[in-house]
């Protein structure tokens, strides 16, 4: 399962960046596979797969019984060209993504620190004193682990990989690292965590991001001047990798089409060939996506007839809880609850405040229309879509579009219940609350209502999945780049 999740790609990119940033240089020895397994909390096969790819591409020398050596070499000119190319491509997105992480990752980080006990605090204290690149990365990963959410960890890891600051060699770029001014701020964060002051802790973490990351990119911007900026690279949140990314992404697009899009008034999906042309993917990819769609319970394929679909409000079949793809995506569906719960207040409020009067009125009309038809579930969906489409920050739009897609996997759970009247009452009350807040022009109360709704439904969703055989380990401990820090600090 770990190979299917493509965790080795993250480990591969981790070492690839570290070699290009000259954290590891020619002749250096990489940590042993056993050490990497402990640090990344993955199997030896996953680590080996990542290292084999680096070996095939000529970056390392790896043989059984010998230490793994770095073969990659860079001239000074090549190193400078890499630094300039990497950061110049990201300058446009860096400010936006920094503010995005403040909105979405920071509340998760604050919660993680608040869950630490005295043993955790004693364990992380040395990180603040050393304050190297690894120390900052490990400290924040350790805090996020307290949430036990692989999806949250994945999001933090992806944003860190994109920005690249954690991988800059302190020896090669001392001025850039000095701009971060880390030690005092980290010690203050731990002190506030020890005091249990959530509000001040959140402000200290916010100050750290603003002061350190933004200062670092200001330094980078000056060092690049008058270098011609390369074409900008947008941030993309890669929840899946390679083939699963395409197949699961297509499945989510079709689910959206069934519930809110072009297929909602249809009884059957178009043919494989038509969908292949529409989505610009191969017929085999469409076939795999439809197979997964059948496993969700949202559709049934009938030989010689086609694929019958079950639009919103129509009872459907129970998801196939034996399917690895369904178990995987329902686990991600549950984990998406937490990210939304911790980030939605600011994300929803800031988005609603940015809407034009016409967009704001259209949102109210859409929710009113679905209320009149009895489809109260779509109130939350439209708010998530609104953030994914209209947030002032492109990073927030990217992240919420993925969260909305994960949310779609959960709808067949409700539609397959024989009696969902109690849940329907809760959703109807939520819909009425949101509509009233929008009509009274109180966007901040909309965000608070979303958080209350999500937080209230999370335990019930978790119990339901557990009752159908999805294990706690799958929901909470699925493989990810988690950096458990099982080894003692040297």
> pLDDT tens digit string along 27-71?
999 988 888 876 665 678 888 888 999 999 999 999 887 889 999
| Same-domain status, 15 and 63 | yes
Question: DSSP string spanning 407-454?
Answer: HHTTHHHHHT-S--HHHHHHHHHHHHHHHHHHHTT-HHHHHHHHHHHH
> Which of 35, 32, 136, 38 minimizes the C-alpha distance to 486?
38
1 in a structural domain: no
**Together in a domain, 343 and 424:** yes
Question: Is 235 contained in some domain?
Answer: no
Which SS3 state, helix, strand or coil, does residue 305 take? Answer: coil
Cα gap 270→273, rounded to integer Å: 8
Q: Is 481 within a domain?
A: no
Q: C-alpha distances in angstroms, 159 versus 4, 109, 156, 444?
A: 22, 14, 5, 27
Q: Is residue 485 part of a domain?
A: no
- Could you tell me if residue 88 is left (phi over 0), alpha (psi between -120 and 50 degrees) or otherwise beta? alpha
**Are 31 and 69 in contact, with CB atoms under 8 Å apart?**
no
pLDDT score, position 198: 93
* Whether residues 207 and 278 fall in one domain: no
Residue-wise pLDDT tens digits, 174-211: 555 555 557 788 888 999 999 999 999 999 999 888 87
CATH number at residue 38: 1.10.10.10
pLDDT of 286: 96
Structure tokens given for 329 = 């995506």
Asked if residue 469 and residue 331 are part of one domain, the reply reads: yes
pTM, entire model = 0.89
Flag whether 14 is in a domain: yes
Q: Which residues contact 96 (CB under 8 A, 6 or more apart)?
A: 235, 393, 394, 395
Residue 9 CA to residue 483 CA, distance in Å, equals: 15
Query: Helix, strand, coil proportions of the chain in percent (round to 5)?
Result: 70, 5, 30
- Identify whether the C-beta of residue 11 lies closer than 8 Å to the C-beta of residue 39: no
Q: Are residues 107 and 217 in the same domain?
A: yes
- Residue of 102, 116, 154 whose CA lies nearest to 332: 154
Assigned domain for 489 exists? no
| Ramachandran category for residue 487: left, alpha or beta (phi over 0 → left; psi -120 to 50 → alpha) | beta
Tell me if 232 is assigned to some domain.
Answer: no
Q: Are residues 59 and 186 in the same domain?
A: no
With 0-12 / 13-18 / 19 or more C-beta atoms within 10 angstroms meaning exposed / middle / buried, residue 182 is buried
The answer to whether residues 261 and 371 belong to one domain is no
Both 389 and 262 in a single domain?
no
Structural domain range at position 290: 244-309
How many domains does the chain fold into? 4
CATH number at residue 398: 1.20.120
Measure the CA–CA gap between 368 and 154, rounded to whole angstroms: 36
Residues of the chain with pLDDT under 50: 1-5, 478-490
């Amino acid at each position: 399962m770990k190979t299917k999740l493509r965790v080795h790609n993250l480990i591969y990119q981790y070492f690839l960046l570290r070699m290009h940033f000259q954290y590891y240089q020619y002749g250096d020895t990489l940590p042993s596979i056993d050490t990497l397994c402990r640090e990344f909390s993955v199997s030896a096969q996953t680590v080996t797969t990542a290292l084999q790819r680096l070996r095939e591409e000529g970056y390392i020398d790896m043989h059984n019984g010998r230490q793994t050596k770095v073969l990659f070499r860079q001239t000074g000119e090549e190193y400078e060209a890499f630094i300039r190319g990497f950061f110049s491509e990201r300058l446009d997105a860096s400010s936006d993504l920094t503010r995005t992480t403040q909105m979405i990752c920071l509340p998760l980080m604050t919660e993680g620190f608040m869950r630490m006990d005295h043993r955790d605090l004693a364990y992380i204290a040395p990180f603040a004193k050393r304050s190297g690149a690894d120390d900052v990365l490990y400290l924040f990963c350790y805090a996020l682990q307290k949430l036990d959410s692989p999806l949250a960890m994945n999001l933090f890891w992806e944003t860190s990989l994109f920005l690249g600051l954690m991988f800059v060699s302190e020896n090669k770029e001392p001025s850039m690292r000095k701009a971060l001014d880390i030690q005092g701020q980290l010690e203050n964060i731990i002190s506030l965590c020890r005091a249990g002051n959530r509000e001040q802790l959140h402000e200290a973490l916010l100050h750290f991001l603003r002061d350190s990351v933004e200062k670092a990119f200001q330094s980078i911007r000056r060092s690049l001047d008058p270098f011609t900026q390369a074409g900008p690279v947008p941030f993309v949140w890669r929840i899946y990798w390679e083939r699963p990314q395409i197949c699961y992404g297509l499945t989510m697009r079709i689910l959206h089409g069934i519930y809110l899009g072009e297929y909602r008034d249809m009884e059957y999906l178009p043919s494989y060939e038509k969908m292949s042309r529409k989505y610009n993917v191969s017929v085999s990819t469409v076939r795999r996506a439809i197979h997964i769609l059948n496993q969700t319970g949202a559709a049934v394929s009938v030989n010689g007839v086609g694929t019958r679909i079950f639009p919103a409000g129509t009872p459907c079949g129970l998801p196939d809880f034996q399917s690895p793809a369904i178990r995987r995506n329902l686990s991600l569906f549950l984990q998406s609850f937490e990210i939304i719960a911790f980030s939605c207040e600011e994300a929803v409020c800031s988005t609603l405040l940015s809407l034009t009067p016409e967009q704001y009125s259209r949102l109210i009309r859409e929710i009113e229309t679905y209320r009149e038809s009895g489809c109260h579930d779509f109130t939350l969906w439209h708010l998530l879509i609104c953030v994914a489409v209209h947030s002032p920050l492109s990073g927030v739009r990217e992240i919420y579009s993925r969260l909305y897609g994960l949310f779609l996997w959960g709808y067949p759970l409700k539609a397959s219940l024989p009696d969902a009247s109690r849940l329907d009452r809760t959703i109807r009350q939520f819909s009425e609350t949101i509509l009233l807040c929008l009509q009274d022009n109180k966007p901040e109360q909309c965000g608070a209502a979303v958080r209350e709704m999500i937080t209230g439904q999370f335990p019930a969703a978790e119990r339901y999945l557990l009752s159908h055989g999805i294990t706690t380990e799958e929901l909470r401990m699925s493989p990810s780049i988690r950096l458990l820090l099982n080894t003692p600090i040297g």
